[in-house]
Chain A
Amino acid sequence: MATYTLRKVLSLIPMMLFISFLIYLGIELMPGDAVDFLIPPDALATMSAEQLNAMRESLGLNDPFLVRYLKWLGGLLQGEFGYSIQSGVPVATLMKNHLPATIELTVTALVFSSVFGVLFGVLSALKKGSLIDQVFSLIGMAGVAIPQFLLGLICINAFALHLNILPAGGRMASAGQSFVERLPYLLMPALVLGFSLTAGVMRYARSSMLDSMGRDYMKTARAKGIPEWRVNLLHGLRTALTPVVVLIGFRLPMLIGGAVVIEEVFQWPGIGSLFVNAVRSQNTPLVMMIGFFSVLLVLISSIIVDIVTAFLDPRIKLS
């Protein structure tokens, strides 16, 4: 297990190098550069070519593409994340300010969707074809079909404007406030995001559980005379869980960049809106850093998924 993990982690390095290069290339291929977005359009018209060139020079934008990439990489290796071109604020500070909000939101949504997805999915499977199964199916379909922003707006309209029981958006700064005080702000965005994520887990858990319930070993378990709940929840669920855990595991990368739409709708000061703005204004250092962490999380998730599945299913060997 330890050697496996070590080998996997080491294999991350070339992968990260390659992917970061691709992201850098992507930004490079976009038309225009950061200076075009730094200066308001009316001011841009009055500036001379020399002035613009001097600005580019000072930002290091005139260096060849490869040189700039290697400089960025060199900085990263020294723990230097660079500065936002727009605001001059260190990227590390920006991340530190925005990341907790996003993680708070996505973790809540992920936990919510995983717990209820598995619960409802298993319940649907056990009561296949019943009213409760059909109701859950309908809710699940709605969760997939209704766009997040629409559901978000409907919820704001209902709970904030009409019922007036939850704030319409924003987030209370975490300093000095207890979690209970901050909860109302978190509730709506997290539940809207969680709702749309639940459906997938639910359908997956249902079909996986149904598959498991049809297996021969379930009959063996019944033939042993053990109680029905134990047959279903121990023999059935335990085997059905593996694919569901894989699905949930591959959702971990959402922790960083998965809530862009919801963050916009609910004015949630997370990393999503920061990222969108950074891409729009070709703020290379910021885009690179957020992209870098997202990719890292994807790769780490896949290692975690490997380890967890090997733990859940003895037939799978880590090698």
Chain B
Amino acid sequence: MNAEVSHEIVLNVNGEVKRFSAPARRLLSDALRGDLGLTGTHVGCEHGVCGCCTVLIDNQPVRSCLTFAIAAQDRKIRTVEGLADADGELHPVQAAFKECHALQCGFCTPGFLMTATALLEQRPNPDEEEITEALAGNLCRCTGYQNIRSAIGHAIELMQSDI
């Protein structure tokens, strides 16, 4: 078999321009983790069901395992590494997850954080149904979801008190 063609891929991740070389079949999830060392994005099912690999593309939550890195050029990608401030202060959603014990093993957490961040950026005061709808695409096998829901409520309070 012929050697696989490598492409020069340029991604904008958390506001930084990143260049690397990879074949077209490189999934965005694997590019973030393997090529760019951003291992905060987790890879679970690799067919779009579990939600662990959720990142934001142009501020919309998407499955990075169902996106090719080469097709995500010219887009603004945000990962869990971009949530906290440069000085390490947690994003309100992260702080709320910590305070409300919204994680146990933590494997699903980066996906939930990105999904919740997108929800609250688009709808700062979501109702119960909107929260349920937004979180429905992410699986958590530890918490039973109740504390995650509580954390979203607390994040709303934190974000409003920030202003």
Tell whether A and B belong to one assembly.
Answer: no
